[in-house]
Structure 1
Amino acid sequence: MTDKRENSLLGHIEGKRHIFPLMVFYEDTDAGGIVYHANYLAFAERARSAMLNLLGVSNSSLAERHKVAIAVRHCTLDFRRAARLEDRLIVDTRLIKLGGASLGFEQKIMRDDEVLVVIEIYLACVSLQELRAQRMPDELRTAYATYLDVNED
Structure 2
Amino acid sequence: MAEVSDRPAEGRFEGREHRFPVRVYFEDTDLSGAVYHANYLRYMERARSDMLRVGGIDQRATFEAGEGSYAIASVAIRYAAPAKLEDALLVVSRIRRVRSAGVTIHQRVMRDGLVLAEADVVAALVAPNGRPRRQPRAWIDIYERLVWQGEA
Same fold per superposition (TM over 0.5): yes
Q: Residue 117 of structure 1 corresponds to which residue in structure 2?
A: 117
Q: Cα distance, 1:66 vs. partner?
A: 5.4
Q: Size of the alignment, in residue pairs? A: 151
Describe the superposition over 1:41-82 as per-residue Cα deviations: whole angstroms up to 9, x where unpaired. 010000000111112233211202352111111111110000
Moved over 2 A (4+): 1-6, 56-59, 142-145
**1:61 matched residue in structure 2:** 61
> Which residue matches 1:90?
90
Structure 1 residues not aligned, in runs of 5+ = none
Query: Tell me, which stretches of 5 or more residues in structure 2 are unaligned?
Result: none
Q: Percent identity?
A: 33
Q: Give RMSD over aligned pairs.
A: 1.8
2:71 is aligned to 71
Letter in 2 for 1:131: G
TM-score by structure 1 length?
Answer: 0.91
Summarize the alignment of residues 4-153 of structure 1 with structure 2, pairs less than 5 Å apart: 6=7, 9-65=9-65, 67-128=67-128, 130-153=129-152
Contact 1:12–1:18 under 8 Å retained in 2: yes
Q: How many angstroms apart in 2 are the aligned matches of 1:5 and 1:146?
A: 31
Deviations 1:80-116 (A, max 9, x none): 0000111000000000011000100100000011000
Indicate how the Cα distance of structure 1 residues 69 and 145 shifts in structure 2: closer, same or farther if over 3 A, else same: same
Q: Distance in 1 between matches of 2:36 and 2:116?
A: 13
